[in-house]
Each structure stands twice: as structure tokens, then as C-alpha cells.
Structure 1
């Protein structure tokens, strides 16, 4: 289920689809029944969930 975004004018990261941080389980359960988890951050957007807008410079030369 998608969440509301507070920054509607920024494009969503194509690598993580807007889910920049996830928890990965590390193996067996502890005695209390929980599992140890590690956070994994999207390397493309650095955990923001938004892609940076790319600025493309175009140089046009007109032949005389």
C-alpha cells in the first residue's frame, strides 16, 4: 500500500520505488522470539526515496 508523499514535486527513486530503507532479518530467533534485523539503505537515493532531477545541458551551434 503506497504512502502519502510530502514532496510531491520530486520524482520517486527508480531503484527502490520510494521505499528507501528496509529491514533484513539476520537468522534464527532469539530466546524471546524476536529476530535481529539490519537496516539496508538504497544506495541510489541515499535513503531519501526521491531521485535527483538531472540537469541536461545542450549546446547548439549554428553554422554560418
Structure 2
């Protein structure tokens, strides 16, 4: 019997599966890093490509 395989997830082409990044924009007076979380606009932070087609308005050149 052949082993069962799980279907591969469609990784977002914009972020390669890393949907949220934190940009360091300085330090606080007590030495902690101040970060700003930024979410991938292509997958809205899921890391998985949607199955719906992309409209021409969403494509940036």
C-alpha cells in the first residue's frame, strides 16, 4: 500500500510564507527595541495563497 501524503499548502508568492515581519525603528529610553509589525498585503498575514484570482487592480508593477 502506498503511503498517504498530505496535500501541499500553497505558499504566498509575495512573502514566501513569512507573512508578518517586525521592523525595528528605534529603542526606548530603557533599552528595549521598538518594533512595528507589518503584514503581507498579498495574503493578509496568513502565509497561504488564496484560491481566488488576483484582480488587475491588485497587481503592482
TM-score (norm 1): 0.62
Give yes or no for the alignment of 1:31 onto 2:29.
Answer: yes
- How big is the shift at 1:10? 2.5
- Which structure's residues are more often strand, by fraction? 2
C-alpha distance in structure 2 between counterparts of 1:33 and 1:16, whole Å? 30
Alignment of 1:36-47 (within 5 A): 36-47=34-45
Unaligned stretches of 5+ residues in structure 1: 1-7, 56-64
Question: Greater helix percent: which structure?
Answer: 2
Would you identify which runs of 4 or more consecutive aligned residues in structure 1 move more than 4 Å? Answer: none
Partners of 1:35 and 1:54 in 2: CA distance: 38
Secondary structure of the 1:36 match is strand
CA radius of gyration, larger in: 1
Alignment-derived partner of residue 15 in structure 1: 14
| Aligned-pair Cα RMSD in Å | 2.1
What 5-or-longer segments of structure 2 have no aligned partner?
A: 1-6, 54-61
